[in-house]
A = this chain, B = another copy of it.
């Protein structure tokens, strides 16, 4: 099976870390290609950044549509690319936020999320969970007070300590039974934190890969009835013909 993971930002460090995590955890027989767009923002910390990252990511995704068995959008958010890609394919598509949250629900009644930034991420994640109808079991969202780009230096000890501190508070003060890492840039921290805190720690990048393998293994794909019905062709004014290919 072939899986395409798209890191929608242009941080080479993130793309590499995702590739390392994927290679480490993929099943025998799974081939994972990790890629990122040729242009766009180095980190995604809001809707504007998300929009800037979208067109170059579509330029990667549209030609890849029929070449893979499943797709992962490796950004810890409800990135619009997840939904756009589902409109274009019958294959399974997962974002890493949802993948992490579904996995969390399988292992514990409640969970917490440690994010980057300040209140911004916290409030946005809460709204996303509500949209997905999944807000009830998330009992703690804690920003670790660093920017996404700071996480390029994740090997720095002080930064890891700050993340550990927030995870500890989520577990010990808020009572979270499991922790979800709230940024693709935290990839690789799961085992270290799990050893320190003795609760499961989920990296959405790995969770998404394993769930895609499960879905492909079962033979299931995105529903094409309703929200992800095939796209109706329409006039595109002054746009590259590539974008017309996504329509039926």
Contact = CB atoms under 8 A, between A and B. Distances in A.
B127 A109 contact: yes
A227 to B, nearest CB: 5
A115 to B, nearest CB: 13
A227 B122 CA distance: 8
Q: How many copies does the complex hold?
A: 6
B123 A110 contact: yes
A20 interface: no
B220 A202 contact: yes
Nearest to A218: B210
A220 B180 CA distance: 12
A109 B78 CA distance: 13
A140 to B, nearest CB: 12
Given A42-B237, A47-B83, A134-B133, A226 B123 contact: yes
A77 to B, nearest CB: 11
